[in-house]
Amino acid sequence: MGDKSVHDLPGIGPALGGRLQNSGIRHARDIEGHFLVFNQNQEKFGNWLRDTCGANAKQQRDCYNATQADNKGERLVF
């Protein structure tokens, strides 16, 4: 994930990415940090995304799945 923009994450896109950036979250690694803080818990991570940028259930799930796969070392193209 590294230095990729939050806009590049599955489920995020320009609208949610802009809201995340307004909250100080600019890179995919920042999202991964929250994923780890929530102990990879899908419900907590999804609630945080909803509360932070207004992500719906599908967007939360897509971002969670991509972040989880990357954390496991699986290479995703996004």
List the pLDDT tens digit at each of the 78 positions of the chain. 678 999 999 999 999 999 999 999 999 999 999 999 999 999 999 999 999 999 999 999 999 999 999 877 766 555
Query: Closest Cα partner for 31 from 9, 59, 54?
Result: 9
pLDDT of residue 54: 97
Q: Which DSSP symbol is given to 48? A: H
DSSP letter string, 11-46: TTHHHHHHHHHHTT--BHHHHHHHHHHTTT-HHHHH
pLDDT of residue 34: 96
pTM, two decimals, is 0.89
**Per-position b or e across 61-75, b if 16+ CB within 10 A of its CB:** bbbbebbeebeeeee
Q: Which CATH superfamily is domain 6-71 in?
A: Barrier-to-autointegration factor, BAF (1.10.150.40)
Cα separation, 33 vs 9, in Å, equals 14
